[in-house]
Amino acid sequence: MKPVNIYALTRVSGSDRQGRLERQMSGRGRYLKIKEWEITGLKSFITRLGEYYPDAFSLNFYYSFSIPKLGKEFDLIRVSDDYVLNVELKSGNVSDEAIRRQLSQNRSYIASLGRSMYFYTYVSDSGRLVRLAGSGRLVEAQWDELAEILKKQIDPYEGEIEDLFKEELYLISPLSDPAKFLRGDYFLTSQQKDIRKQILKQVFSDKDAAETVVPVFGFTGLPGTGKTILLYDLAMTLSKTEMVCVFHFGSREKELEELDDRLKRIDFYYCLEDEKIETGRKYYAIMVDEGHRAGPKAISRILELSREWKAPVIFAYDSVEPIAPEERGNAGAAQIEDIPGFIGYHLTNRIRLNSELSSFISCVMCVSGRNHRRDYPNVTLFYAGDDTECENLLEILKRDGYVCLKGSDAGTCKEFEKVAMVMGESYVYDEEGFLKSGSPGENRDNPSKVRELYHGLSRAKKKIAIVVKNNEAVFDRIIGALQR
């Protein structure tokens, strides 16, 4: 999306005409429905600014920009190498505290660009201009100072603004970036915030009730939809006044141990699929990470502890919908969802994976699916005839920064910029196009291989590489799907 000249935008009348013109100027992929009060505010803003800056009519701003996948919107932004200017538009009937809160939040997002920042709000009904001071207070502003800032903003950026506000600047994993998580340098999407709000509302209201059934919550979604950060954010919130625990069913990572050591009101327990869970104390709430890995005995024990402590349970668990049903392994997700009174939510936005990698993984799991693209510039596909060739190709990928995952390594909860994996001779595609880990109708040596491949590839943030070893049939199906 490119900047638009708001003077030119406000010269035409009618919402439909304005939306068409805005799309033509910005290159936005959809029509923007512009409300009448917004155009009135824009007109008033550029007119008032023009009293102090005669060239105001020539200024370009990014208008109504939302950070991809986060849903955070800014009314007007101008970016240069020196600083960023953000102006929010209001028609009226808004409190100073609401304005201050919005500008403070804007500052936390724009700070990722590492430049000086200025934040203003213009209230068109009253003609009032205010700004956010460095101390975080809201103060009255003067038009001549805003005009001076704009005059000094030389050679502003006019490229695609999405290239500046990359999702990875905001969306982190507690296990990949524990330091950022502990500092609170992370953001939730609007969908995550909504689920968080609903869960906390019920947890706190049920805790205040004299007698109630202890609630069991859960949220699922494909890998990369932000389940872990939401679970840990909830744990942080609930642990502000009480002790909570996290039962973790994934691999034991040193980053998780760092969180355990630093978070004094959260105790972490590393659990196996059906190992009996024992704790040394009671907890206010129980969080379950990687819940799809929990077996029936473990789930039964968690519910037993919940009833004993009168503690709500919150599960985060993966959805493996793209995988062939018979390859999905244990029914951990189904067991969670079958808990009486279970309250479930589904995360749908894949915030960690970009659409290209998400499409490719779905394509590998089922080559007959409709989820495909024209090209895959961040996907590498190699073929190896034997073990030696495979090792040589993996060495090439390692030198290029790829992390090569295999076997149980794919179950890690960490994320990596680039991920490489091997598909050997045991993989086949059935008549429906689903990937299987053995020949159809035969006993497969390891039914979890497809799941390991799926979860491993889903750990990639930017690039994926697959080395197909001595399996021309699978290679032909994948490369054929990629080059439709």
Taking only the tens place, the pLDDT of each residue in 333-387 is: 788 989 999 999 988 766 655 678 888 888 898 887 655 556 788 999 999 999 9
Q: Which residues pair with 268 in a beta bridge?
A: 246
* The two domains 178-346 and 355-482 share their CATH topology (first three levels equal): yes
Query: What pLDDT does 440 receive?
Result: 44
Look at residue 167 and tell me whether its pLDDT is greater than 90: no
Q: Beta-carbon neighbour count of residue 43 at 10 Å?
A: 16
Nearest to 187, CA basis, from 171, 173, 175: 171
Please give the mean pLDDT across all residues of the chain.
86
Query: What are the structure tokens assigned to 134, written together?
Result: 């460095």
Using alpha carbons only, give the angle 230, 179, 259 rounded to the nearest 5 degrees.
65
Query: What pLDDT does 445 receive?
Result: 44
Look at residue 271 and tell me whether its pLDDT is greater than 50: yes
Taking only the tens place, the pLDDT of each residue in 178-209 is: 888 888 778 888 888 899 999 999 898 766 55
Q: With respect to CATH, is domain 355-482 assigned 3.40.50?
A: yes
Taking only the tens place, the pLDDT of each residue in 430-439 is: 888 889 886 4
* Neighbour-count burial of 317, counting CB atoms closer than 10 A to its CB (0-12 exposed, 13-18 middle, 19+ buried): buried
Nearest to 271, CA basis, from 302, 242, 243, 240: 302
Concatenate the DSSP letters of all residues of 424-465 into one string. -TT-EE-TTSBEESS-TTSPPS-TTHHHHHHHHHTTEEEEEE
Q: How far apart are CA 457 and CA 131, in angstroms?
A: 46
* Pure H helices in 274-420: 296-309, 332-337, 355-365, 387-399
Instruction: Determine contact, residues 366/433, Cβ cutoff 8 Å.
Output: yes
Query: What pLDDT does 459 receive?
Result: 85
Architecture of domain 178-346: 3-Layer(aba) Sandwich (3.40)
Query: What pLDDT does 442 receive?
Result: 45
Q: In this predicted model, which residue has the larger pLDDT, 462 or 172? A: 462
Q: In what order do the strands lie in the sheet with 403-404?
A: 379-384, 460-469, 416-423, 403-404
Query: What pLDDT does 386 receive?
Result: 94
Do β-strands 343-346 and 313-318 pair in parallel, antiparallel, or remain unpaired? unpaired
Strands of 147-289, DSSP E: 216-221, 244-248, 266-270, 285-289
Query: What pLDDT does 374 receive?
Result: 64
Query: What pLDDT does 32 receive?
Result: 87
- Among 256-265, 386-395, 462-471, the minimum mean pLDDT is found in 256-265
pLDDT class for 441, splitting at 50, 70, 90? very low
Nearest to 75, CA basis, from 103, 49, 50, 96: 103
SS3 annotation, 176-193: CCHHHHHHCCCCCCHHHH
Look at residue 150 and tell me whether its pLDDT is greater than 50: yes
The count of residues in the chain is 484
Query: What are the structure tokens assigned to 85, written together?
Result: 């200017």
In the chain, where the domains are located: 4-168, 178-346, 355-482
* The overall pTM is greater than 0.85: no
Nearest to 217, CA basis, from 196, 236, 246: 196
Mean pLDDT, residues 394-407 taken together: 91
Query: What pLDDT does 160 receive?
Result: 92
Query: What pLDDT does 449 receive?
Result: 85
pLDDT class for 327, splitting at 50, 70, 90? low
pLDDT class for 447, splitting at 50, 70, 90? very low
Look at residue 402 and tell me whether its pLDDT is greater than 80: yes
- Among 400-404, 467-471, 477-481, the minimum mean pLDDT is found in 477-481
pLDDT class for 77, splitting at 50, 70, 90? very high
